[in-house]
Amino acid sequence: MNDRVFSIVAFMGLMCIAVSLQACGNRSIAVAGHPTATVNQVEPEARFASLDTLADFMIQDILENGSLEKLVSRYESQTAAIASYWTLNGKEGDPHDMANTVFKDLTALADSLSGFSTMDMVLSGEITCAMEHYLTAQDYCRHYSKDPLYQAEMRDWLQLEDTLRVFYGELGYLTYWGGSIARIIAGGSMAFLAETRHNDYSQLKKGGNFAHSELPTIAEALTTLTEELAAAKSLEDDMNADDHYYREMLKELRGHADMVVLLIDKWLTSRKRLCEAEGIPEAHTAHLVTLLSGHITEIIEQ
Contacts of 275 (CB under 8 A, 6+ apart): 204, 281, 282, 284, 285
CA–CA separation, 123 and 60 (whole Å): 12
pLDDT value of residue 155: 96
pLDDT value of residue 215: 64
Average pLDDT of the chain?
A: 84
For residue 241, name the pLDDT band (cuts at 50, 70, 90): confident
Select from 76, 89, 67 the least CA-distant residue to 9.
Answer: 89
Cα–Cα distance list, 139 to 20, 21, 191, 197, 251 (Å): 10, 11, 18, 12, 37
CA–CA separation, 255 and 257 (whole Å): 5
Select from 132, 137, 37 the least CA-distant residue to 79.
Answer: 137
Contact 48, 68 (CB under 8 A): no
**pLDDT, tens digit, 9 for 90 and up, residues 36-90:** 334 344 588 999 999 999 999 999 877 666 789 999 999 999 999 999 999 999 8
Select from 118, 109, 57, 60 the least CA-distant residue to 83.
Answer: 57
Mean pLDDT in residue range 244-254: 93
For residue 240, name the pLDDT band (cuts at 50, 70, 90): confident
Mean pLDDT in residue range 158-174: 94
Mean pLDDT in residue range 16-34: 39
CA–CA separation, 9 and 269 (whole Å): 46
pLDDT value of residue 128: 93
Chain centroid offset of residue 288 CA: 14
- pLDDT above 60 for 208: yes
Nearest-Å Rg of the Cα atoms of the chain is 21
Per DSSP, what are the bridge partners of residue 29?
A: 37
**pLDDT, tens digit, 9 for 90 and up, residues 172-185:** 999 988 777 888 88
pLDDT value of residue 224: 94
pLDDT value of residue 12: 38
- pLDDT above 80 for 137: yes
pLDDT value of residue 242: 83
pLDDT value of residue 211: 80
pTM: 0.84
Q: What percent of the chain has pLDDT over 90?
A: 62
